[in-house]
């Protein structure tokens, strides 16, 4: 019985917390200094992402070279790398026209 009461109290408490949070006003738009800071942050984030991609590519190359060296050392054939092709972004299906009719089914 105590666990049911506790569960109900927690659910009510969370509901009240979410309701209070939802009523907060929107933050004011950034001023000139805020806009400049946001642009600077975007540039830093982009640079950091580029550095992370380069570091990841370098580590992958190192792992591949280590694997190939170990395969040669063991006297096993080194498998040829398979090319990886990036998937093209899928096109969104065009919405059906309101007056268009569906093709008739043959029976």
pLDDT in tens, the chain (107 residues): 888 888 888 777 766 666 656 677 888 888 999 899 999 999 999 999 999 999 999 999 999 999 999 999 999 998 887 888 877 776 655 555 665 565 666 65
Report the alpha-carbon angle 26-29-32, nearest 5: 160
Predicted TM-score (pTM) of the model is 0.47
| CA distance readout (Å), 24 to 17, 20, 29, 98 | 11, 7, 15, 41
* Side-chain half-sphere exposure of 88, counting CA atoms within 13 A: 3
């Amino acid at each position: 019985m105590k666990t049911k009461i506790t569960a109900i109290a927690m659910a009510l408490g969370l509901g009240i917390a979410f309701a209070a949070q939802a009523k907060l006003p929107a933050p004011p738009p950034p001023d000139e200094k805020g806009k400049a800071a946001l642009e600077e942050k975007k540039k830093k984030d982009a640079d950091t992402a580029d550095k992370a991609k380069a570091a990841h590519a370098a580590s992958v190359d190192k792992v591949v070279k280590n694997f190939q060296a170990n395969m040669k050392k063991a006297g096993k054939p080194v498998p040829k790398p398979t090319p990886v092709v990036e998937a093209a972004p899928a096109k969104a299906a065009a919405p059906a026209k309101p007056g268009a009719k569906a093709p008739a089914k043959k029976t």
